[in-house]
Amino acid sequence: MDKVVTSAALAVADVPDGASIAVGGFGLSGVPNVLIAALHERGVTGLGVVSNNCGAMDSGLAVLLTAGRIARVTGSYIGANKEFARQYLGGDLEVELIPQGTLAERLRAGGAGIPAFYTPAGVGTQVADGGLPWRYDGTGGVALASPRKEVRAFDGTDYVLERGIRTDFALVRAARGDRHGNLVFRKSARNFNPLAAMAGRITVAEVEELVEPGAIDPDEVHLPGVFVQRVVALTPEQTAAKRIEKRTVSEREERH
């Protein structure tokens, strides 16, 4: 089945207000910026986003966040995103912060059809006991806190029950992809992309290089096409757009 869609706008045309969306990427690496921009152009709002972080600087999910299009974020950290922190502390944004490894496994479990699993991460903390602020009231108080989770002992060790994540849509970016949706990710850009793709009921992948079926060795496929419903081929200009979050240089030593 040819899953190629002619444009990013067409690929996200049926994403409604209030949709839940898993988004790949880590910082500025492997972020589906073109698909995010297409969502922004559509004007959808009230989105529930599941992603490691919510964009950096003025790129990635930060575009939707700054425009007030995101209602809830499930992620691992706020990072240096000042707008994220402002909306969260101001009561404009509901945020569920969870351990990074737990987030990865919740996405993978959801995609694999596993409804829940036990993990030691978070036992003895508010992750398990409840009380983490999900939403502030804008005056410093907590309007909504996380609930207590089930804790169970296995072989003398306590584990907390975490539920798998399934979302309405998923947006990911890959280095190579074929018309059947088989994807290959480049180095660190692999990060959360395969996991986010698995969690989405409808997964859209933007690919830097589109190839014909059979051009990718099966042993090189990082994510099989069964998890991908739509593929968007990027233009050379879109592929070349790379950013650096924090540029650092070292001073050259003077030679005598």
Average pLDDT score over residue span 65-78: 95
> Positive or negative CA dihedral for 241, 187, 95, 20?
positive
CATH superfamily of 8-115+164-236: Glutaconate Coenzyme A-transferase (3.40.1080.10)
Residue 117 host element (H or E): strand 116-119
CA–CA separation, 176 and 245 (whole Å) = 24
Q: Which pLDDT score is estimated for 79? A: 80
Boundaries of every domain in the chain = 8-115+164-236
Q: What is the DSSP letter of 8?
A: H
In contact, 204 and 15? CB cutoff 8 Å = no
Q: What is the largest CA-CA distance in the chain?
A: 67
DSSP code of residue 4? B
The pLDDT value given to residue 58: 79
pLDDT tens by residue, 217-229: 999 999 999 999 9
Integer Cα distance of 68 and 38 in angstroms:
15
The amino acid at residue 208 is E
* Model pTM score: 0.92
Six token digits for residue 244: 């650096």
CA 86 – CA 10 distance, rounded (Å)? 33
The pLDDT score that the predictor gives to residue 134 is 97
pLDDT one-digit tens code per residue, 188-213? 999 999 999 999 999 999 999 999 99
- Give the pairing of strands 20-23 and 200-211: unpaired
What separation in angstroms does the CA of 73 have from each of 18, 84, 95, 97? 12, 10, 5, 8
Out of 11-25, 196-210, 225-239, least confident range: 225-239
Neighbours of 105 (CB within 10 A): 20
Tokens of 82: 């000042």
- Mind listing the pLDDT tens digit for each residue in 35-61? 999 999 999 999 999 999 998 777 899
Radius of gyration of the chain from its Cα atoms, rounded to whole angstroms: 19
